[in-house]
Structure 1
């Protein structure tokens, strides 16, 4: 079964609709993705390029001689990864409006994996919407907490 899912950047300038056939996603740990996102890994959903319709064309950064990355130049949101000569591309799981559907099925680029960041289940947890200094800033700035 194929579902249509939407997503986009933080500011809303770039939006997309993608046809999604399964819940499989993966984590990439390669140094290129670490540098492109500033994170220790990135969660991707692989899709057919033809299954993605852009509403507000993303900007594209040639991140290497063999790959490019869609992003929003207004807010900086990384939206994916693509080899120009491939029929597939990756969309960042976090850019989907509802990323909860996806589940990681494998790791890629494990030569650069930072194991200490993989299983964080024993670390203390805190909710952003219960952290008073942060919620006070939001209330003062816009009168409510963000969606």
Structure 2
């Protein structure tokens, strides 16, 4: 059983299967909706997810709907009846243990921000560096 939720805890979810589709999305729609350069998603059948708490829905495109916590604003779910009928895309970083799932793919790399393609060459710090 995988569990997760929003930042404030008002929305919680449980997934009864291990998602077979998990990846990072670089599309502009995900970037604009999240304010992040990339968003991790895991796709699961609707009937394998139990959601506790209320979400708000935003129509981010003609068929796409983004669901978020109305209290803290955390983006949680994406639905699109045209592309993912009967399935729910869940932002994988909202899992209680996001390290559980391996990351097999990146998608929409045609939209990737140029500086995202060479992150391994940047200096790294365990925490925020001294100023």
Normalising by the smaller structure, the TM-score range is 0.7 to 0.9
- Among 12, 16, 26, which residue is 1:29 paired with? 26
CA separation in 1, counterparts of 2:94 and 2:3? 9
Shift of residue 84, structure 1, vs aligned partner: 3.4
**Which secondary structure state, in structure 1, belongs to the residue aligned with residue 72 of structure 2?**
coil
In the alignment, structure 1 residue 121 sits paired with structure 2 residue 120: yes
5+ residue gaps in structure 2?
none
Instruction: Say if 2:19 and 2:43, in contact at 8 Å, map to a contact too.
Output: no
Shift of residue 95, structure 1, vs aligned partner: 0.3
Instruction: Say if 1:23 and 1:103, in contact at 8 Å, map to a contact too.
Output: no
CA separation in 1, counterparts of 2:21 and 2:111? 22
5+ residue gaps in structure 1?
134-147
CA separation in 2, counterparts of 1:24 and 1:118? 22
Structure 2 residue aligned with 1:82: 79
Q: TM-score, normalised by structure 2?
A: 0.86
Alignment of 1:48-63 (within 5 A): 48-63=45-60
Shift of residue 36, structure 1, vs aligned partner: 0.6
Structure 2 residue aligned with 1:95: 94
Structure 2 residue aligned with 1:40: 37
- Alignment length, in residue pairs? 129
Per-residue deviation, residues 32-75 of structure 1 (Å, max 9, x unmatched): 11111111211111111111100112222111110101111111
Structure 1 residue aligned with 2:104: 105
Q: Which has the higher contact order (CA 8 A, sep 6+)?
A: 2
CA separation in 1, counterparts of 2:14 and 2:107? 25
**Greater Cα radius of gyration, structure 1 or 2:** 1
Q: Flag the structure with higher helix content.
A: 1
**Which secondary structure state, in structure 1, belongs to the residue aligned with residue 29 of structure 2?**
helix
